Structure formats: C-alpha cells, structure tokens
Structure 1
Amino acid sequence: MTASSALRGSDPAFIGPYRIVRRLGAGGQGIVYLGTDDAGTQVAVKVLRPEIAADETTRSRFAREVAIAQRVASFCTAQFLAADLWSDPPYIVTEYVDGPSLQEEVARNGPRTGAALHRLAVGTATALTAIHEAGLVHRDFKPGNVLLGADGPRVIDFGIARALDATATVSSQVVGTPAYMAPEQIKGAEIGPAADVFAWGAVVAFAATGRSPFAADSTHAVLYRVIGGEPDIAGVPDPLRALVARCLAKEPAERPTMREVLMWLLGSADSPDRETGPRSHAVAARRRSRRTLYAAVAGAAVLALAGGAALWLTNGAGSAAKETGGGTTAGRATTVARTTSSPQVSTPSRLPRTLTGVWEGVLAQSNGTNRPMTVVIRPNARTLVSYPSLGCAGLLTVVRRDADGQFVLRETIVKGTKCTRQGRLTMRPGDGKLLLTYFPNGSGDEMAYSATATLYRKGV
C-alpha cells in the first residue's frame, strides 16, 4: 500500500455497512475509498461533498439521478450498487474496477495505438450510448473517469454531475474539466447528450496523442480554445481522426449522436467526412440500404427455406449473434440474471404491426464483445434477424407474450457458421426502441453466456 492510498487519521473505519480498506482517490466531488461489504465483496465508496446534503431539495434531486443511473447497463460502466444521501456523510457505492484510469495509464505508458485504441473508443462509446439511453448525460466525461479494468474500459461517475450542478452556486465550482467540456457547457447554455459526444472526441484524442486537443498554458487559454479555437488532433490516426473532428464541432447540432459514433466504429456506417459527418452519412446510408437490407436478409431466409424449412418449425430457439464457443466464457458484468417468467396471457403468431420496420443496434455480449444487430419486422411475414459482422442471419418466432407486454421469441440461425444455432430472446418494446435479452438453449457452461441489446427503428 502506498502512502497516498493509506487511510488517514480522519478517515472512517466504516461508512454505512461498508468496511473501509484504503483510499482510492480524492477530487472535487469527494473522497473515494475501497470498501468491502458483509460478504467481502470489494466496492468503491464515494463520500460526497457536505453541501450535497445541505437541504432536502438537493438530496431529493441527487437521489433521483442515482436511481436513474442504477438502470444503466453495466457492461462498460461501473455499476451503481447503493446510495445513502441522508447519511452523515452522504455516500454512493459502485462496482470496484481494479485498474488505472486512462489518465494514469497514458501518463505511465504513453498513448494507445492500433487495436487497443479502437477497443477503447468502442468501449467508451458503448458506455455513453447506454448512459444516454437511460436518460442521463454524463457531463464530466474525461480520461480520469475511464478506468481500464482487466475486462476492458469502464466509465465511472455518470449520473452525479447533474446533481452536483445544483450545488455549483454554493461551492462556486464549475462541474466538469475545462479541457473536456463542450463549448455550450462553458457558456452556461443548455447541456444535452451532445456535450458528452464532444467530450468523447477529446478523450479519444487524448488517448491517441497523450494530450488534450485543447491543451494550453492556463485554464483561461484552454476555455478560449474550446470555444473558438481549432482542436489539435494531428496525432489521431485515420480514419478515426475524421470521426473525432466531427465530434469536436463547436455547435451541438453538427455532432453525431453517440449511437451513430458507435455504429460507425462497429463498421455499420459510412466513413465520416468533415463536411457531411457521420450523421449525414448515416441518413444517406439508411435510404440507400433499406432495399438491399430487406433483400439480403430475406434472401438468406429464402435460401434456407429451400434447403430445410422444417428447421424453422422446430421447438428449438435461435441464437443472438454469439460466436461459436464464445458462450462458454463467463463474461463481464453484463451477465443477465435469470428470472421467473411472467404469467403467459397470449400466444400471438406475429409481432404487432406497430413494430413493423428495420431495427438496428448493438448486441453487448457477456463474453466482452459487441456486435451490430438488425431485426426486420414485416406485416404478415416472418421476422428476420441478422448479425452483419459475423455473416449470420436467421428467423425470430414468437413463442408467447407475457402479462407485462414482453415477448418471448425463439431464434433459428439459418445462415453463417459463427453463431450459435439456437437460443431464446425476450423483447420489450420501449419508447422508440426494442430492449432485448438473449440466452442460448442448452445447459451447463453454455448457460453462463448472455447478451443484451437496444435496437432503434431506422428512419425512412
């Protein structure tokens, strides 16, 4: 244990039910400790600034933000576990990630390159996409808030920066780190998900070059460069540099969404262009590819039908883009716990016509990999599924609809050899999205594998 991590005389032995082991760090938001629960599981306990609990309004607002943060998918984030904002001192508890921050790693070993840089870009983009889909904005995404665990990068401290904003006038502090803050954040304008997109571009540039694209000799100079200067991204490799440039656009509307960034990184969007950007390319690609997408997936189904339609009518369920053998690997924190099925209320033969369309998203697998996923729902026809990066395609068949509106589907892969042939999917329609959970059929080690996905309907 280093001197900087040793407990000090003023540090508590317990915070709530958690035994405190050592300090992990300290910053503007509070002190972070390594703790253990009653079962000996290691957790990160963050003691928040006293003003967080200064009044009931602030505590209640913070509690709402934490409750939302607990719903964020945990495959690329440090999961929120508990919070007590009425304690003295107030604290929150998250999953402990044993690894250095991106800030520390780059300072120690230099910039990241090649596949390591791409994995970092994908992992952090996945995390921010999940955070945005939960209705949150990180607002303080920076190299110090990316931890490099053994299973990949994890984003931390999401869901609390907005609550801290409520106390900024009390503490006279600006919530955020200037070199990674969006122009609108510095100007005090409305802050939305686009601010995180800007920060992501700056963080990826830092990872690739070892410096912020807006580095300067003083905080004032940094703020000036963020608002009106050109970012220095000369060391970011192509084609990633063009994507980073679009993310660092001064106007929020000119930046792509995090989901568009992620889809480009996964290879399912055109290469970004400085004048048109990933967003414009994605719109154009949607219009160009709609017919070919239907044709390609439907064509695979037709070919499979000619060779063995009986396979589609078996009771086995299909697979969700799990690479052969991948499901036997106990994955990261993405493993979805099995729950008792809701009461069965109906057995429709088709999905509702209101879900008709092409749905796209990313399948986050518990073995640590992410794959693009497409589902085509057609009226009076079978529902098709494909995993473009694996060359797999197949069929989804409705098994039942539960009382809570969730559909249980079976999937049969009929094209491609890199996907498990059978599995079970649950599908829950949401506000403009489909929430999917996947388990393969079978028993034993295979059942350690699971996956989740959020799909979005493509525009016309």
Structure 2
Amino acid sequence: MTAPSALRGGDPTFIGPYRIVRRLGAGGQGIVYLGTDGAGAPVAVKVLRPEIAADETTRSRFAREVAVAQRVASFCTAQFLAADLWSDPPYIVTEYVDGPSLQEEVARNGPRTGAALHRLAVGTATALTAIHEAGLVHRDFKPGNVLLGADGPRVIDFGIARALDATATVSSQVVGTPAYMAPEQIKAAEVGPAADVFAWGAVITFAATGRSPFAADTTHAVLYRVIDGEPDIAGVPEPLRALVARCLAKEPAQRPAMREVLMRLLGSADSADRETGPGSRAVDRETGPGARAAAPAVRRRFGKAVYAAVAAAAVLALGGGAALWLTNGAGSPAGGTGSGGTTGGRATTVARTTSSPRASTPPRLPPTLAGVWEGVLTQSNGKNWPMTVVIKPGARALVSYPSLGCAGVLTVTRKDADGQFILRETILKGTRCTRQGRLTLQAGDGKILLTYFPNGSVGGMSYSATATLLRKGV
C-alpha cells in the first residue's frame, strides 16, 4: 500500500456521510482515506475497486462478509463500523488506528525483540482467535494488515479477501500476499482458519527478523518455497521459534488451532482443549443454514476455562483493554453504525455477579396508532426509500424498507417532554441498512411524523432522515 498523502485532484471531499481529510494509502483492494463522521470522530474509509460495483454477485457476497465481520470482538482488531456496497463508489468504514503498520515499523526501526515481540505475538494471536470465533477467516494476514496503535497491535481487513475471491484468482491477481500465503491458498484448495495460522507464523518471523520465512527474488520463487521449501526462521528466539515452526507446517492438519497458539503464548495451553485437526476449527464461512451454526459450535468448544485463562493472562500482557473483548462479545457496541443486516453476536461470556435495579417500564404506543403505516423516508443526502411501519399496541413495532430488502423492530425507549416517542431501530434482516438507529415519532392529524438519526446520535450528525407516514387503507 502506498504511503499517506494529501488529497489529489480526483479525490472526493465526502464519501457517503463521511468527510474526507486525506489519503492513508492505496493498494490492490482500493484507496483508503482518513475521514470523520458526523460527530467529528476519525474513521478509515476504504473505497473498493470498481469491480465490486460492477459485479452484483461479488457485491452481495461482500455485504454478507461485512455483516459477519461486524460481529468480531473489537479487542485487537479495527472494528467495522459501516458499509454501503451499493453506493457509487462502494465503501466500507472501520475504526481508525493512529499508528504505522508492522511493515512500516520494521522497515523504519528494525525487528522487534524481547517483550515487544511477545506482546505483538499475543495481540495478533488474540485478534485472529476472535476472528475465527466469529466464523471468519482473514485470508490476507500480513505485516501491512497489522497496525501498531498506542494501545497495542490491531488487525485490519479481515473478511475482505474472502469476498474478493469472486473477482481474482492466483493466476491473475492473487488474493493475498504470496510470502504470507499458506500452501493451500496457492494450490487453490479449500482454505480455512489454518491458513491464518500459517500466515501468523510468517508474520511473527518477519517481526523478529525483518524478512519473510519464504523470501526470494521473484514471486514464482516465493510461491515455490511456500509449497515445497523449508521456512527460514533463524533469528526467531526460543521458545517462540518452536511454535512458529509448527504454524508453518505445509499440511493444515499439522498446524495448531489459533486458540492453542494463543494459550501457549500465555503459558496456559491445556492439553484437554487442544485440537490440531482442521475439522475442529471454525470453517470458512458459506451461506446457508449449516454455515450459520458453525461459529456458535466453535465458541462452545472454546470453553469457559479457556476464556478465563485468556482474560487473566491477556490483561497482564496487553493491558486493561482485554475486559472489552470479554464483555463486548458481539463485537459492536449498542448503537454502533454498522450496515450488517444481522444482529446475532456471541453471548456474553463473563458471569455477572451483581444484580442491577429493575429498569422502569417504557411507555407504550397508544391503541389509536395500531395499524399499517406507509410513506417515504427522505434522507438528508437526497436519497428516498419507501418505508412501512406496523404498529400494535405496546412497546414495539415492525419496520421495513421494501426496496432495500431490510426489516427490523422499533422499540420505544421513552417519551420526551414534547410528547414525542423516542424509539430504537434494530435491523434484523438485510445488509443495505444501518443496523442501529434512533427515531422520534409524533402523531397528529392522521399522520405519523418520523425523524431518524443513525447510531442514535443527534448532535453534530451530518446525516439524518424524515418521513411522513399515512395509515394504509385510509
């Protein structure tokens, strides 16, 4: 990826609701910009290659992958915040990490040693474990996809390489970086989490020595070494070297699972929990009901003892941020701006030992509003979408956006001093709508007036929407 630079003549000043500040870099997947959201917070906005917009199948697949990626625990990863793959150009938005990549840092200051190398190994292994627990495979884990923020290493671009498989092949444009690709990727065989384990071993070798274990003068020579050559891991200190050697095994079944790698780094590898065969790992995610059950099954196998060990050791190794990883199992904070249409995250794994006071009962929508209401939601950026709200007396209603393929629920949270109902929108179906939002609802003269704010935030937002709904059949 190219180095950061100022905006150029053809660069946009806004992408969706995000103001663009400068370029962060450009690579095979697209251009990455530093942007700001409506509240002024920095974000990374990646504009994807034109092939994504031109190919409906790839775009839909990408949307599914992004929806899953939004469920990855944000500890040690750059969290997915939003995406619009049907815009022109299509883009995704992630948390901005202010720091160099591992590639840049090693080139500038040399290899890592001692505690710094160990912390990097723990942080990246933690990130890949969280990614696998969500049912994803990174597929392009490399030094350029590890950012060194002030609070530790962050892994980026997970889930993107899988979505791009539909538009690239090894013979035309390699999805991945050859020096950090597993043999099965080069051979176009089935790719699972074991490929990330292989890449992790190669990245840690680079961090410790300043070179890939399969470095060579040409791409063809690199590919040959990955498939048939012995890795050069001289210079990786023990006991890390022995673990890296296992990760770089040619056969996926001979590599440890990522969670075993993590536990060994933390000095708590439980033999009863070790599973080295590929069948024990999270599978590469496909569509269909069978795939949806894959991630929960893996999470159940991970076990409470492993989570407890990770919690204790990771706090010591990486700082207090580990608490966020364990408590924010869904990987996206309530009200986070995501485009994913699914909300299924992992259950919280930390037992709650204290009880909280019972929340006050929210107000209920009056019976006079019961019925089907229809209208058009008009966004502040000029886009319009048909909208349907089905109200039954109570604290909830159903909402759908037929032209976008999105549907979800509206939950009443309170009633303000002006008599407006405040509702939380949660999208449960579809990938083209922001997953969480906040609405105000005011009824009068046979109409419902709605004002919508993504992410439940009002102040400073550059994007909002309004709608006037009429009762169907009246």
Q: Deviations over 1:105-151 (max 9, x none)?
A: 00000000000000000000000000001010000000000000000
Q: RMSD across aligned C-alpha pairs, in angstroms?
A: 3.1
Q: In 2, distance between residues paired with 1:149 and 1:263? A: 23
Aligned residue for 1:304? none
- Secondary structure of 2:232's counterpart equals coil
Residues 1:133 and 2:85 aligned together: no
Q: Is the 8 A contact 2:304 2:349 kept in 1?
A: no
Selected match of 1:360 from 285, 295, 306: 306
Aligned residue for 2:19? 19
Q: In 1, distance between residues paired with 2:262 and 2:170? A: 37
Q: Deviations over 1:349-370 (max 9, x none)?
A: xxxxx99x97422226595365
Residues 1:198 and 2:150 aligned together: no
Report deviation, 1:57.
Answer: 1.6
Normalised to the residue count of structure 2, the TM-score between the two structures is 0.60
Identity of aligned residues (%): 85
Q: In 2, distance between residues paired with 1:18 and 1:439? A: 38
Aligned residue for 1:89? 89
Structure 1 pair 121–32 and aligned structure 2 pair: CA distance change class (3 A): same
Structure 1 pair 59–170 and aligned structure 2 pair: CA distance change class (3 A): farther
Structure 1 pair 108–438 and aligned structure 2 pair: CA distance change class (3 A): farther
Q: In 2, distance between residues paired with 1:213 and 1:171? A: 22
Q: Is the 8 A contact 1:215 1:222 kept in 2?
A: yes
Q: Is the 8 A contact 1:51 1:170 kept in 2?
A: no
The amino acid across from 2:349 in the alignment is L
Q: In 2, distance between residues paired with 1:258 and 1:204? A: 14
Aligned residue for 1:210? 210
Aligned residue for 1:387? none
Aligned residue for 2:349? 436
- Correspondence list, 1:265-344, <5 A: 265-269=265-269, 282=274
- Correspondence list, 1:385-400, <5 A: none
Aligned residue for 2:122? 122
- Secondary structure of 1:213's counterpart equals coil
Q: In 1, distance between residues paired with 2:72 and 2:352? A: 20
The size of the alignment, in residue pairs, is 307
Report deviation, 1:435.
Answer: 4.1
Q: Deviations over 1:266-302 (max 9, x none)?
A: 11127xxxxxxxx899479xxxxxxxxxxxxxxxxxx
Aligned residue for 1:72? 72
Q: In 2, distance between residues paired with 1:104 and 1:3? A: 9
Aligned residue for 1:172? 172
Q: In 2, distance between residues paired with 1:97 and 1:3? A: 15
Q: Deviations over 1:133-192 (max 9, x none)?
A: 101000000000000000000000001110011111599311000000000000100100
The amino acid across from 1:236 in the alignment is V
- Secondary structure of 2:349's counterpart equals strand
Q: Deviations over 1:18-69 (max 9, x none)?
A: 0000000000000000000110000000000010121322111110000000
- Secondary structure of 1:368's counterpart equals coil
Structure 1 pair 116–440 and aligned structure 2 pair: CA distance change class (3 A): farther
Q: In 2, distance between residues paired with 1:20 and 1:369? A: 29
The amino acid across from 1:10 in the alignment is G
Aligned residue for 2:426? none
Q: Is the 8 A contact 1:65 1:159 kept in 2?
A: yes
The amino acid across from 2:94 in the alignment is T
Q: In 2, distance between residues paired with 1:239 and 1:200? A: 16
The amino acid across from 1:368 in the alignment is G
Aligned residue for 1:187? 187
Structure 1 pair 370–38 and aligned structure 2 pair: CA distance change class (3 A): closer
Q: Is the 8 A contact 2:3 2:24 kept in 1?
A: no
Aligned residue for 2:250? 250
Aligned residue for 2:369? none
Q: Is the 8 A contact 1:23 1:32 kept in 2?
A: yes
Q: Is the 8 A contact 1:186 1:223 kept in 2?
A: yes
Report deviation, 1:442.
Answer: 11
Q: Is the 8 A contact 2:204 2:244 kept in 1?
A: yes
Structure 1 pair 12–440 and aligned structure 2 pair: CA distance change class (3 A): farther
Q: Is the 8 A contact 1:151 1:368 kept in 2?
A: no
Report deviation, 1:88.
Answer: 0.4
Q: Is the 8 A contact 1:141 1:199 kept in 2?
A: yes
Aligned residue for 2:10? 10
- Secondary structure of 1:61's counterpart equals helix
The amino acid across from 1:99 in the alignment is G
Q: In 1, distance between residues paired with 2:273 and 2:173? A: 39
Q: Is the 8 A contact 2:20 2:33 kept in 1?
A: yes
The amino acid across from 1:26 in the alignment is A
Q: Deviations over 1:409-456 (max 9, x none)?
A: xxxxxxxxxxxxxxxxxxxxx99x97414678699xxxxxxxxxxxxx
Aligned residue for 2:32? 32
- Secondary structure of 2:306's counterpart equals strand
Q: Is the 8 A contact 2:75 2:321 kept in 1?
A: no
Stretch deviating more after TM superposition (214-223 or 163-172): 163-172
The amino acid across from 1:104 in the alignment is E
- Secondary structure of 1:166's counterpart equals helix
Structure 1 pair 283–12 and aligned structure 2 pair: CA distance change class (3 A): closer
- Secondary structure of 2:44's counterpart equals strand
The amino acid across from 1:217 in the alignment is D
Q: Is the 8 A contact 2:3 2:25 kept in 1?
A: no
Q: In 1, distance between residues paired with 2:108 and 2:354? A: 45
Normalised to the residue count of structure 1, the TM-score between the two structures is 0.62
- Secondary structure of 1:44's counterpart equals strand
Structure 1 pair 63–136 and aligned structure 2 pair: CA distance change class (3 A): same
Gaps of 5+ in 1: 271-278, 285-353, 372-429, 444-460
- Secondary structure of 1:83's counterpart equals strand
The amino acid across from 2:320 in the alignment is G
- Secondary structure of 2:115's counterpart equals helix
- Secondary structure of 1:88's counterpart equals coil
- Secondary structure of 1:436's counterpart equals coil
- Secondary structure of 1:214's counterpart equals coil
Stretch deviating more after TM superposition (228-237 or 53-62): 53-62
Structure 1 pair 200–3 and aligned structure 2 pair: CA distance change class (3 A): closer
Gaps of 5+ in 2: 277-299, 324-343, 357-474
Q: In 2, distance between residues paired with 1:281 and 1:131? A: 19
Q: In 2, distance between residues paired with 1:111 and 1:280? A: 35
